[in-house]
Amino acid sequence: MSNVASYLKRSFVAVAMASATVAVPSAFAETTIHHQQQTITIDYPASFDANERQLAYQWLQQISAALQTVHGEFPQDQFQVTLRESTRHGSTVPWGQVKRGEPDTVLLVINPSAGLQGLLADWTAFHEFSHLMLPYRGYGDIWLSEGLATYYQNIVQARAGLFDEQTMWQRLQAGFRRGENDQRWAHAKLEQVSDNLRETRQHMRVHWSGVLYWLQIDVALREQDHSLDLALKHLKDCCQGQQLSAWQIVRKLDRMYETTMFSTQFELFRNSYTLPDYRHVLSALGVEENLTFNNQAQQAAIRKSLLQSPR
C-alpha cells in the first residue's frame, strides 16, 4: 500500500474514531476538473468508495496538470474519462483506450490499491490523454496516432518531473531498438503492417516508427523556432472534435506551416520497410549510444528545449 493510500485510510479511521457525531462523507462528489473554459468529466465505477473516488480524482488532476506542460491547456476543451476497476492484481492501469465520439472518452481500468504514487508511475493514462491531441478518426495509418501518444507520454512525464532527461532518452532509445527488431514483416511497408496490425502483430515497429516521425518533425520545427507543442495547439484550435484521417491531419499541418514537410515525411515513413534510421537523429541531438549527453552536438540546445514547456 502506498503512503497516500495508507494516509487516507489512517485519517479515515482517525476521523471515524474522533467522534461518532462527525459524519464521514459517504460520497466524494467531484466529477469535473476545470481549467479556464475547459472541462474534463469523470465517471467513477460504482464499486469505488469515497476514498477511492478521491484518490482517482487527485490522480486525474495531476495527469491533466502534467498535460498542460504541452501548450498550457488540456488536449481538448471537453472530454470524458470513464474509470473502471481492475479485477486483476499486480497491474496498476492494465487497460486504457480512447473512444472517439462527442465528446471523446478515455476509458481507464485502474487498480486503486496502487495508491497515488503507484498510479502516477504508470504511463497508460499519459499515453491515452496524449491521443486526444490529434483530431484523429481512430483508424487507418494508426502508426501516426500511436507514435504521437507514445512520444508525448514520455515528454509529459519528463516535464512533470516523473523521471529525468536521461531516463526519457533511455526509454526512447530502447523503444527504437524494439521497433527496429520487429523484422518479421520486413517485406511489407509500414502502411500495410500498420493497417493489418491484428495479423502482423508488429506493434513495436508501428508505434516506434510513429515516435521517430514526430521526433524528427519536432526537431525540424524547433530549428525554425516553432515546436510540435504549438503545432498541436493550432491543430486543437482549428480541428478539435473533428475526426480526420492521418493524411488529412498531415495536410492540415502542411498548410498551417506553408510547407510540405509533414506529408513528405509521412509518405517516406508509411513506405518504409523497417524502422527508419534513428541513430543519426539521436546523435545530432547529443544522445550517445551509452546514454551520455554530448552538449557540443549540433542540436544539443534543441534536445534540452524538448523538456521545456513553450513560453
Give the Cβ contact number of residue 6 at 10 Å.
11
Q: Output the smallest distance, CB 216 to Zn ion, in A.
A: 20
Q: Output the smallest distance, CB 211 to Zn ion, in A.
A: 11
Q: Are 141 and 191 in contact (CB under 8 A)?
A: yes
- Smallest Cα–Cα separation from 216: which of 178, 182, 250, 193? 250
| Residue 231, phi then psi, degrees to nearest 5 | -60, -40
Instruction: Collapse the DSSP code of 1 into the 3-class scheme (helix H, G, I; strand E, B; otherwise coil) and give the result.
Output: coil
Of residues 97 and 271, the one with the C-beta less far from Zn ion = 97
Binding stretches for Zn ion (CB under 5 A): 146, 149
Which residue bears the cell 478539435?
A: 240
Of residues 4 and 246, the one with the C-beta less far from Zn ion = 246
The three grid cell numbers given for residue 168, joined into one nine-digit string: 526519457
Q: Output the smallest distance, CB 96 to Zn ion, in A.
A: 8
Of residues 83 and 149, the one with the C-beta less far from Zn ion = 149
Of residues 151 and 185, the one with the C-beta less far from Zn ion = 151
Of residues 60 and 106, the one with the C-beta less far from Zn ion = 106
Q: Output the smallest distance, CB 31 to Zn ion, in A.
A: 25
Taking each helix axis from N to C end, the angle separating 142-159 and 261-270, rounded to the nearest 10 degrees, works out to 110
Q: Output the smallest distance, CB 98 to Zn ion, in A.
A: 7
- Smallest Cα–Cα separation from 51: which of 4, 93, 19, 18? 4
